[in-house]
Amino acid sequence: MSARPPPALVAGAAEVIRCNIAACLPAMAHRQPHALAVIFPQGRDAHGKRAYTHLTYAQLDAHSDQIGRGLLRYGLRRGMRTVLMVRPSLEFFALTFALFKAGIVPVLIDPGLGVRQLKTCLAQAAPEAFIGIPQAHAARAVLGWGRGTLRHLVTVGSRWAWGGTTLQAVTDLGAQPGAEPVLADTQAHETAAILFTSGSTGIAKGVVYSHGQFVAQVELIRATYHIVPGEIDLPTFPLFALFDPALGMTTVVPDMDFTRPAAVDPRKILEAIEDFGVTNVFASPALLATVSRHGVQHGIKWPSVKRILTAGAPVPAATLARMHLMLGPEAEIFTPYGATEALPVSSIGSRTVLGETRVRTERGAGVCVGLPVRPNDVRIIAISDVPIANWAQVQELPVGEIGEIAVAGPSVTQTYLGRPEATALAKIARGETTVHRMGDVGYFDAQGRLWFCGRKSHRVQLPDRTLFSAPVEEVFNTHPAVLRTALVGVQIAGVTEALLCVERAPGSTRTDTALWQELKDLAARHETTRGIDRFLRHPGFPVDIRHNAKIGREKLAVWAQARVRHGQT
């Protein structure tokens, strides 16, 4: 509900603007050449103290130039789709910026998607080049990834029997003394990267990002969170780390398994924070839940941290409250709302959540995700499960009414790679502007704040009303014996009924029978949850591989339906 963005910033605008997202790196290298750009954990010394290696801004700029020249001389070219499967490392940063500088298009896919999803994603991308660690190349060779399209192979590390060349050889190719810096004269609308979604609600889709959308995204983040050069960032999600050089922050790469953020060792996170005086942390809600429980139990503090950004799923208020016990009095936790296709859409701070909106959330109002980030234009439209080609077909809804969340803005992407049917379902033309349907439902309150009510596909349509996941689940999540819940619909005698899957809190001693009765009593006290009286205990919800926070309700629905057939409710 913010002011509409100026036409030149909106995705789809006709103006031709030349920009390259990597231009920020030489600019920062000129401004602060000796500042540390990336710090990477590298074993321990003889006394057990963590050792690190690093690149300054000048070194990262020069190294990425050298790799970029080498890739072009090896045969890669501007616009070529290139799979990048490299673990977070100094090489990951240098390679990514080398690709951006050269105008080569990195294709970034979460390795934890699974063999079938990875093969599907790579088939969609039709890459001509593949840059990866030896294990990635071995999987590619054995499983046939990219067969028929790949022409150039680069191994980061030791090359085995699959041909191609090594990153070291590429770097040597680009080592000509006195060579000109690499920075392609790309246009704002030109493709910069393909970022695949997490696949948490279906097949992962390749989101096409332009250079202009990346630049706009950086500026939105900078302005919204008042980030200044010289800050120290600990990003526990690798892709977010790529914003740091553009923002002038030092990246401290944490020692963790990035595919399992919920299983992070809190002591290693604390170690990195203390070693460098980290000021900013980007983390998933699942990681914050883990470190906050450990922190409160052991009296741990993060006094240097002044800002935490967390995204991927709604953050429980209890997690925010525990985190504040670890932070200084001026620190705040921000929860930007968005998706791979559009980020950030809106944002809210933890002090507002804990001091005001939490009470409404726990009574069934949904989760407040704050005011739209300017200059995004966010609207609520009538729920539909079919494509909407033009804005003239849209029914906008008034304040307080739940509908689909739709957004237009400078960082909103316009298309999915090779998925015209998915693009048609997610995008609406409004003049020259592309509006993205978030796939989520929500509403605006009288103060102009956006409230999230769950995924559109997760709504449960009963004979007399429609239930939305977030408002329902947040009521039940207040029970001390409940860790989290998931609303699903099941068929009983041909009629859809609501069922709540329950993950019990560790250490709870209540019997299921006693807990189910208490949850029925709780449901009866709120309009949002009245009549819900079927519950199933689940040993551990399936979650997305990227953030370990989005619950796999599709899988839970199948699981619950099978148990209903066997009379287990």
pLDDT tens digits, residue range 503-535?
999 888 999 999 999 999 999 999 999 999 999
DSSP string, 413-431: ---BTT-HHHHHHHEEEET
Mean pLDDT (the chain) is 93
Of 176-180, 302-306, 482-486, 539-543, least confident by mean pLDDT is: 176-180
Residue with tokens 């959540």: 353
Same fold, 217-454 and 459-565: no
pLDDT in tens, 481-508: 999 999 999 999 999 999 999 999 988 8
Lowest mean pLDDT among 9-13, 170-174, 321-325, 327-331: 9-13
* Residue range 459-565, CATH number: 3.30.300.30
Residue that is written with structure tokens 């009765």 in the block: 517
Top-tier CATH class for 217-454: alpha beta
As a whole number, mean pLDDT of residues 1-5 equals 37
Mean pLDDT of 266-295: 97
215: pLDDT strictly greater than 90: yes
| Over residues 449-456, mean pLDDT | 98
Q: Is 361 a residue whose pLDDT tops 80? A: yes
Tens-place pLDDT, residues 114-169: 778 888 899 999 999 999 999 999 999 999 999 999 999 999 999 998 999 999 99
C-alpha neighbours within 13 Å on the C-beta side of residue 458: 29
Phi, psi of 256 (to 5 degrees): -160, 165
For residue 145, give Cα distances in angstroms to 38, 115, 162: 31, 10, 13
Q: What would the mean pLDDT of 167-186 be, rounded to a whole number?
A: 91
Counting residues of the chain whose pLDDT is more than 70, the rounded percentage is 97
> Structure tokens of 257?
């398994």
d(CA 284, CA 314): 10
- pTM confidence score: 0.93
What is the per-residue pLDDT for 14?
Answer: 44
**Nearest Cα to 123, choosing from 150, 100, 141?**
150
Q: What is the pLDDT of residues 433-445, one digit of tens each?
A: 999 999 999 999 9
Give the pLDDT of residue 481: 96
Residue 270 CA to residue 254 CA, distance in Å, equals: 10
Residue 16, pLDDT score: 62
List beta partners, residue 444.
Answer: 450
Looking at domain 20-38+53-186, its CATH class is alpha beta
Quick check: 326 pLDDT over 60?
A: yes
Q: Does residue 113 carry a pLDDT above 90?
A: no
What is the mean predicted confidence (pLDDT) over 263-280?
97
* Contact between 232 and 12 (Cβ < 8 Å): no
Domain ranges in the chain are: 20-38+53-186, 217-454, 459-565
CA distance 542 to 242: 28
Name the residue with higher pLDDT: 394 or 241. 394
pLDDT for position 469: 98
Q: Residue 390: beta bridge partners?
A: 429
pLDDT of 111 above 80: no
Q: pLDDT value at position 550?
A: 87
